Amino acid sequence: MFSLKNKTAVITGAGSGIGKATALLFAEQGAIVHIIDLNKIEAEATAKEIINLNGSAIVHECNVSTQEKVIEVFKTIDTVDILVNSAGISHIGNAENTRERDFDRLYNVNVKGVYNCIHAALPVMKNKRAGVILNLASVANHVGLADRFAYSMTKGAVYAMTLSVARDFLNYGIRCNCISPARVHTPFVDGFIKKNYPGQEKEMFEKLSKTQPIGRMAKPHEIAWLILYLCSDEASFITGCDYPIDGGSIKINN
């Protein structure tokens, strides 16, 4: 089950976190993995892990917010069976204290970046009359999160784009879904805590973990397993759906 043998998967943000875990799992399941990431060093490290496990991985250094560059990268990829839009950034702030440049920065990566990759992949998928697109949304598009104004805006847009693509391209055999994770223990979380709470890292990590009903953060590979399912042939009847994977955060906390 969940075999991706002979499938080509493009995963953005696969240099770390959820994207990396997804790339490793997809390769393990037989996919040819194309890694798109702005951080070439991290992307190559992920590719090296895959190759060391006898998998197949190709690295593309790319800023997903630049459409010309994204289209150029997709033209070098022979075919696209699966697109996972995992690349994303965050910001702390509310509608009053969020600066315009931060709002634009998040929009460019989290919204425009997702659009750019979908825009580039769709012609190939339409020609094949088959394809799967999986976008990373967030619990932020379901509940109000304190001081996550710009981030919540972007993830709400991702959710809306998912529904639109699923509707518009259903007759081409293209499925499009998204998932909504709660807090996941990634290098970003560690970096955020270290930067904002120096000397209190352990205490803040525990505090953030316990904000979720399940009592801990998710692990990247736990998110990757859901992504694998939704991108596999076993999920062929699923499109236009959002799947919370949140440790009870949406239903239990609210």
Digit-coded pLDDT (tens) for 195-233: 878 999 999 999 889 888 999 999 999 999 999 999 999
Mean pLDDT, range 24-42, rounded to an integer = 98
- Closest to 167 (Cα-Cα) out of 239, 220, 62, 216: 239
The Cα 248–Cα 71 span in angstroms is 38
The Cα 16–Cα 34 span in angstroms is 14
Task: Please give the pLDDT value at position 253.
Answer: 63
The Cα 169–Cα 171 span in angstroms is 5
Domains and CATH numbers, the chain: 8-185+219-245 (3.40.50.720)
Which amino acid is residue 213, in one-letter code?
A: P
Task: Please give the pLDDT value at position 183.
Answer: 92
- Closest to 103 (Cα-Cα) out of 67, 153, 145: 153
pTM (two decimals) = 0.95
Q: Are strands 174-181 and 242-245 parallel, antiparallel or unpaired?
A: parallel
Contact 253, 104 (CB under 8 A): no
State the sign of the Cα–Cα–Cα–Cα dihedral 241, 158, 23, 32: positive
**CB-count burial class (<10 Å; 0-12, 13-18, 19+) for 77:** middle
Q: Is 151 a catalytic residue?
A: yes
In the 8-state DSSP scheme, what is residue 250? T
Q: How many CB atoms lie within 10 A of CB 180?
A: 23
Select which of 151, 159, 229, 243 is catalytic: 151
